[in-house]
Structure 1
Amino acid sequence: MNWTGFALNVVLCAVAAVVYFGVIMAVAIRIGNQSIIDIFWGPGFVLMAAVSYLASIGSGDDLGRLVVLALTAVWGLRLGVYIGNRNRGHGEDKRYTALMRHQTGSKVGFLIRKIYGLQGVLLVIVSIPVQLAMYEDGAFGVFGRIGVAVWAIGFLFEAVGDAQLAAFKKDPANEGRIMDRGLWAWTRHPNYFGDATVWFGLWLMALGHPAGLVTVFSPVVMTLLLLRFSGKALLEKGMRRRRGAAYEEYAARTSGFFPLPPRRKAA
């Protein structure tokens, strides 16, 4: 294990994240739409993986490095394209509009504290297993293969769930209705469950060295973000406010996160 190379890699990824989010912030200020950062969240991890892959040339297992890069890229780029298509033509997300009403002091300083700096730190922290995996000398073994399988399950849940929801919303007959079909009948958030599962899969790929165990904080942090902060909690609060009893009935018969058979009757 090349610990010096890995330590330098973390620094390089931090610098890359500063430049990356700095450019995004400059563009967002210019067009007056801070929510474009959501589009670049997934691709940001692709950047972390690409920087790590290039910096680790001559270190680690070539097959493992390539697999981790490829799977991170597939996940991150798909997410970016999906969110970009979903948000196109809708202007700034109301969450960011509400946040900007509380601006104090310098606009740039406020944005760094509340949005871009925070996301930059999270990007580097959550991507640590991907970075570490690039420097592990052991062959891409059992844990790596299990990780690929877990990643695939998560990716399918996320991609299929997003596709089902997009098709549902596109049909005018579903106006005002709650999506409760397909994967959405088994979990209220197949996309968030899939996202978390993808990161547990990437973490498993970092277990080629015992140090990989410590990086379990990465998928845990991602899961907490999805459950407690920017994901499930915020979305469900809005759905309960807008849809009331209809959403409560859906929530009563459908698992909140982990996929489970739908209940026959609301609790």
Structure 2
Amino acid sequence: MRLRTVLATLLLAAVPLSGQPAAAATPVTIAYAQRTQTWELVLTNGDVVKVPEALAVAPRDAVNAGARAAFLISGDGRHFFYYRKSDGRFAERTLHGKERVIRAIEAYTIGEEWPSVSGDGSFVVTGTSAPGLGVLVDLRKGKTLPLPGGTDWSFGGFSPDSERLLLQGADGGRVTVFDRGLRTRLRSKTRLWATALANDYVTAAAPVGSWPESRKLRLLNLRTGKASGTMTVRLPRGQHIDDLDFDKAGHLVVRSKTKTGVAVYRVSKTTGKATLLRRMTRPDAKVWVLPGDDEYEPWTEKK
């Protein structure tokens, strides 16, 4: 694990909270990460913490040498993930915690495998350039799980509570909900490509149209297999559905790239009305990563 070496070189320090009483203090989390000369975490209290141990690009002996290396933040803003310069292993940390190494994921495969993490940072899935998934790791239990059989699976997403995984069969006609032990909980036949699963583990959402210019979606009941009609999300002119998800309360949420950064909307499931929740302005950095991002989003790299 080379833990002593990593802790000696990684300059990530615990970030003290403000001087308010513990009961009243707002927890400090990661607002975003940016890559300038090195990777940095920008926290919700404005502090900036450098992560010099994180790789910026794939090493020379990698399949895709020089390709951008993933740096991910869990949706709750508490966990961050990166490839280590010291040995190319994928690692997870919290602001105040020790590094955990995910040995099954290595920098050698950057550009051939791309990791996704659950909202609470407790599960990692890698997609691959070949048919099928690469690695599934349950960090709560510290174990790598065998791939589910039957077909080559593609990853759709996690439920907001991180208790379910949404996978799509390679034949394109089967969507399956698995629990964290990769036991089948629900299976549905559909031609839709669902990318979001609600906390009821039954409702899914699928964008309609060609990415990245989609402005429409359909809702799918995985228990009955019935889908809603196509609904247009009423986004501002020039914006599209760049990321589709549900929040923990079951609301449909869309993230959309803007001219200055990213806007987040709550979308009515009946009318498609988009209510602005917040806007984020892109910093002047080569790479910008928000909590909940996959390895690549339309706003990740500076154009």
TM-score range for the pair, normalised by the shorter chain length: under 0.3
Bigger relative contact order, structure 1 or 2 (CA pairs below 8 A, ≥6 apart): 1
TM-score normalised by L of structure 1? 0.27
Instruction: Looking at secondary structure, tell me which structure has more strand per residue.
Output: 2
